[in-house]
Chains A and B, each alone.
Chain A
């Protein structure tokens, strides 16, 4: 049982390049989340999904797109990377059966945009 995994672990991009971050979970969770963590800002929600085929905007969605084609995967895309998107990105998931179900986090992806 791997839990929540994220690919890649590290990435360096140049301004304007695109990339996709992959999050996978093997716990059959309905809810999945993408956060970014910046010094002094805490974790901020980018996008989330309440089930396969659904996505919704979080607190800081601009510059990002997401897709949830399969229940176990949640993809985060940067179409044209900017230095302001330099951050650590975390994916999380939780079961949707009860409101008190815990969130489980992946190990993070450290992204640097030059």
Chain B
């Protein structure tokens, strides 16, 4: 069974800092990996999706990388802002199902 781990569980940074969130998975046989953002009491918003054949994807200040062989992905957030405060989740898709990590709760301090 696919296990997805996100470390750290919580992260607090001052505004303007660059930061990296980590996601690791146990089975490298995946079709894609998706990063989400979740605000308190809300649903999940898709940030980036990386196909298994890709190494990275970029959207604005966000950059996600994927190393399938080592079972790792990172989400890089540049020049963090208070509005980036949320929980970030990664999910991998080895077949028709998705497996989620438990998320990293990010707080950006003004």
Contacts and interface: CB of A to CB of B under 8 A. Distances in A.
B10 to A, nearest CB: 12
Instruction: Specify which of A44, A56, A90, A99 lies most central, judged by the most chain B CB atoms within 10 Å of its CB.
Output: A99
Interface of B: 4, 31-32, 34, 36, 42-46, 49, 51, 89, 91, 93, 96-103
B102 A41 contact: yes
Given A99-B31, A100-B51, A103-B91, A45 B42 contact: no
A54 to B, nearest CB: 10
The 5 closest A-B pairs by CB, nearest first: A99-B31, A42-B102, A43-B100, A105-B44, A105-B43
B32 A90 contact: no
13 contacts: A41-B102, A45-B97, A48-B97, A100-B32, A100-B51, A103-B91, A103-B98, A104-B46, A105-B36, A105-B43, A106-B43, A107-B43, A108-B43
Contacts of B103: 42
Nearest to A90: B43
Nearest to A33: B98
B96 A31 contact: yes
Which has the most chain B C-beta neighbours within 10 Å: A45, A92, A100?
A100
B72 to A, nearest CB: 18
Given A42-B102, A108-B43, A58 B97 contact: yes
Is chain B's binding surface mostly helix, strand, loop or mixed?
Answer: strand
A92 B100 CA distance: 13
A50 to B, nearest CB: 6
Interface string A29-58: 001010100001111110010100000101
Contact of A43 (B49, B89, B96): B89
A90 B44 contact: yes
Contacts of B42: 107-108
A106 B44 CA distance: 8
A79 interface: no
Interface string A73-114: 000000000000000001010000001101111111000000
